[in-house]
């Protein structure tokens, strides 16, 4: 078997393929270099408003970047932190570091200085590279954490001209460390999930090809950004795995900007999150959206409510394949399938992954009962950096999510396990209440957390982002609305009208921050 190759052995009907990796395997060779031998050198690998990057140009710049990093004295296995916007240089740095035997660590480009300081210090990075637009937050973080080297992308790219365009892939193996991703921080301080060289191949083949149906002629546009797992797969791993074309847009996504990108670049696959889909639906007619090029959409980050799926399908005629993934799993591991969408659900396990739902004692629960979702699969991170506990226990990863599975094997999200509320002695899912709230025509976004009443008993509290004016009368209307749709104990006892909700970059609502805000407000009062 040739070095740095993967043999894909087909599975049976509906079964996952078997991936056989060469003992010496470097992911950059499989995702970048092989396209030259396969005749794609002149094809556009990346498309931006500034122009295209062909596969031949990508391969050369990846090699030059890897050599430039070596000239800087970055050691094999050392961390290279990337606070880089969605531009071609992200690809050069990510794959260049891997090809040279280093470990790239993409960072959320929406963070503040203290967050960056923490990650620079926590990762013990040798180099931090950042987009110039992020200097205001990165500069104080770098000064405080003091990595050995730091520079903006302009300085690093200037070094490529003097670097050799020839670089042999580092002699890594499929189980060696390839890259890290920091968790989104939906429950506190981010943790560094340590991923192997093989992990992006696993998710690209099992989800990208075998679930989504990605093809070489596809154009991929992800509103979700490259710095977290969902966007990294959508816009970097999947297109390069099948020999397709990635569309990169550096700006933060809005309904207007995403519709304009779809009009301009004519993608066939569009990757969004529920919050964005809600805004796109609300502004669809006014913006004159044209999605005729899009054959398939996906959603992750939060459960996609059934009514949003229905509204999108009615407007566009296109399915949204909702699913659940995680930083630790590198991408989506449970998903709806084309032509077999069950609105309001996450669908079935992606080929190559196994899931089960367990109760408090660890025993598997029968169909219909909500419990903790456990996952097994080959793309799960081998560990958390600086965390004594392994990621897997007896081969299973505890996702921290509460799910139920029906008799047909369809999985439905019930919230984070630590977000579940016990109201009147009965477990209550914030997601169910949120789904009822956003059915109201005046609600754009909703989040539900637990709040103690005067007796110290937990009851639901709703935080609402309205669609427009008239919020004064909205609170009472929403209570009546929920009482008409939910069990009596589930209606929100308090309703807060706010301009925005705190979210991670993946679009997940940070309920822990709402709980903190509420506690601080009561203490000040």
% of the chain exceeding 70 in pLDDT: 95
Question: What was the pLDDT predicted at 506?
Answer: 64
Question: What was the pLDDT predicted at 5?
Answer: 96
Within 10 Å of residue 413's Cβ, how many Cβ atoms? 23
Domain 27-197 indexed as CATH 1.10.10.10 = no
User: Do residues 391 and 397 make contact, with C-beta atoms less than 8 angstroms apart?
Assistant: yes
State the DSSP code for 503.
B
Question: What was the pLDDT predicted at 343?
Answer: 96
Q: Alpha helices, DSSP H only, in 421-485?
A: 430-437, 474-483
SS3 content of the chain, % helix, strand, coil (to 5): 35, 25, 40
Q: What is the pLDDT of residues 169-201, one digit of tens each?
A: 999 999 999 999 998 654 557 899 999 999 999
> For residues 223, 226, 229 and 233, what is the CA-based torsion angle, rounded to 10 degrees?
80
Tell me, which fold does domain 421-524 have in CATH? Answer: GMP Synthetase; Chain A, domain 3 (3.30.300)
Average pLDDT of span 12-40: 94
Mean pLDDT of all residues belonging to the chain: 92
Question: What was the pLDDT predicted at 87?
Answer: 98
| pLDDT tops 80 at residue 205 | yes
| pLDDT tops 60 at residue 273 | yes
Rg (CA), the chain: 23
Q: What is the pLDDT of residues 75-112, one digit of tens each?
A: 999 999 999 999 999 999 999 999 999 999 999 898 88
- Predicted confidence band of residue 423 (pLDDT cuts 50, 70, 90): confident
Question: What was the pLDDT predicted at 46?
Answer: 98
Query: What CA–CA distance (Å, rounded) separates 378 from 296?
Result: 26
Query: What CA–CA distance (Å, rounded) separates 126 from 150?
Result: 8
Q: What is the pLDDT of residues 481-492, one digit of tens each?
A: 999 988 788 899
Least confident of 54-63, 151-160, 361-370, 506-515: 506-515
- Residue 262, both tokens: 């779809």
User: Do residues 253 and 223 make contact, with C-beta atoms less than 8 angstroms apart?
Assistant: yes
Provide the 3-class DSSP secondary structure of residue 109: coil
For tokens 């899912």, the residue is 429
Question: What was the pLDDT predicted at 515?
Answer: 77
Phi, psi of 198 (to 5 degrees): -80, -15
Average pLDDT of span 244-270: 97
* Residue ranges of domains in the chain: 27-197, 219-416, 421-524
One fold for 27-197 and 421-524? no
Query: What CA–CA distance (Å, rounded) separates 445 from 191?
Result: 28
Question: Out of 3.40.50.12780, 3.40.630.30, 3.30.365.10, 3.20.20.70, which CATH number does the structure's domain 219-416 have?
Answer: 3.40.50.12780
| pLDDT tops 60 at residue 165 | yes
Question: What was the pLDDT predicted at 446?
Answer: 94
% of the chain exceeding 90 in pLDDT: 77
Burial class (CB in 10 A: 0-12, 13-18, 19+), 175: middle
| pLDDT tops 90 at residue 511 | no
Angular region, 352: left φ>0, alpha ψ -120 to 50, beta rest: left
Provide the 3-class DSSP secondary structure of residue 276: helix
Question: What was the pLDDT predicted at 324?
Answer: 95
- Residue 205, both tokens: 């083949």
Q: What is the pLDDT of residues 442-467, one digit of tens each?
A: 999 999 998 888 767 788 999 999 98
Average pLDDT of span 258-280: 95
- Predicted confidence band of residue 516 (pLDDT cuts 50, 70, 90): low
| pLDDT tops 80 at residue 251 | yes
| pLDDT tops 60 at residue 522 | no
């Amino acid at each position: 078997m040739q070095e740095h190759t993967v043999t894909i052995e087909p599975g049976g009907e509906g079964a996952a393929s078997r991936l056989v990796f060469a003992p010496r395997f470097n992911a950059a060779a499989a995702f970048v270099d092989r396209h030259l031998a396969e005749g794609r050198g002149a094809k556009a690998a990346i498309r931006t408003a500034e122009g295209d990057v062909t596969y031949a140009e990508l391969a050369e710049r990846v090699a030059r970047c890897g050599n430039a990093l070596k000239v800087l004295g970055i050691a094999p296995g050392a961390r290279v932190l990337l606070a880089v916007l969605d531009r071609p240089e992200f690809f050069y740095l990510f794959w260049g570091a891997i090809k040279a035997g280093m470990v790239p660590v993409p960072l959320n480009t929406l963070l503040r200085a203290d967050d960056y300081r923490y990650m620079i210090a926590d990762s013990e990075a040798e180099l931090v590279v950042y987009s110039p637009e992020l200097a205001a937050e990165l500069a104080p973080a770098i000064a405080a954490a003091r990595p050995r080297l730091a520079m903006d992308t302009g300085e690093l790219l200037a070094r490529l001209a003097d670097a050799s365009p020839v670089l042999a892939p580092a002699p890594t193996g499929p189980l060696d460390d390839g890259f890290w991703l920091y968790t989104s921080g939906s429950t506190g301080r981010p943790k560094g999930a340590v991923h192997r060289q093989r992990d992006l191949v696993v998710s690209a083949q099992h989800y990208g090809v075998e679930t989504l149906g990605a093809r070489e002629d596809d154009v991929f546009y992800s509103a979700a950004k490259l710095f977290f797992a969902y966007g990294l797969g959508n816009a970097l791993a999947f297109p390069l795995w099948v020999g397709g074309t990635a569309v990169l847009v550096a700006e933060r996504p809005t309904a207007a900007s995403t519709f304009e990108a779809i009009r301009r670049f004519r993608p066939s696959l569009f990757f969004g999150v529920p919050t964005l889909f809600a805004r796109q639906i609300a502004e669809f007619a006014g913006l004159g959206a044209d999605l005729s090029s899009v054959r398939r959409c996906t959603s992750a980050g939060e459960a996609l409510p059934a009514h949003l799926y229905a509204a999108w399908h009615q407007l566009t005629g296109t399915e949204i394949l909702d699913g659940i993934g995680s930083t630790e799993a590198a991408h989506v591991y449970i998903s709806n399938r084309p032509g077999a969408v069950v609105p309001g659900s996450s669908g079935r396990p992606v080929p190559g992954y196994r899931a089960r739902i367990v109760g408090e004692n660890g025993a598997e629960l029968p169909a219909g009962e909500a419990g903790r979702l456990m996952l097994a699969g080959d793309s799960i991170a081998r560990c958390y950096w600086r965390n004594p506990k392994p990621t897997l226990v007896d081969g299973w990863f505890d996702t921290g999510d509460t799910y139920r599975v029906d008799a047909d094997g369809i999985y439905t999200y019930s919230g984070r396990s630590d977000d579940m509320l016990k109201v009147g002695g009965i477990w209550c899912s914030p997601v169910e209440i949120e789904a009822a709230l956003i059915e109201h025509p005046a609600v754009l976004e909703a989040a539900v957390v637990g709040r103690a009443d005067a007796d110290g008993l937990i009851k639901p509290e709703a935080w609402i982002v309205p669609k427009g004016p008239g919020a004064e009368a909205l609170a009472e209307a929403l209570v009546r609305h929920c009482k008409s749709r939910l069990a009596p104990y589930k209606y929100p006892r308090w309703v807060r009208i706010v301009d925005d909700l705190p979210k991670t970059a993946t679009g997940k609502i940070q309920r822990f921050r709402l709980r903190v805000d509420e506690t601080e407000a009561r203490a000040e009062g």
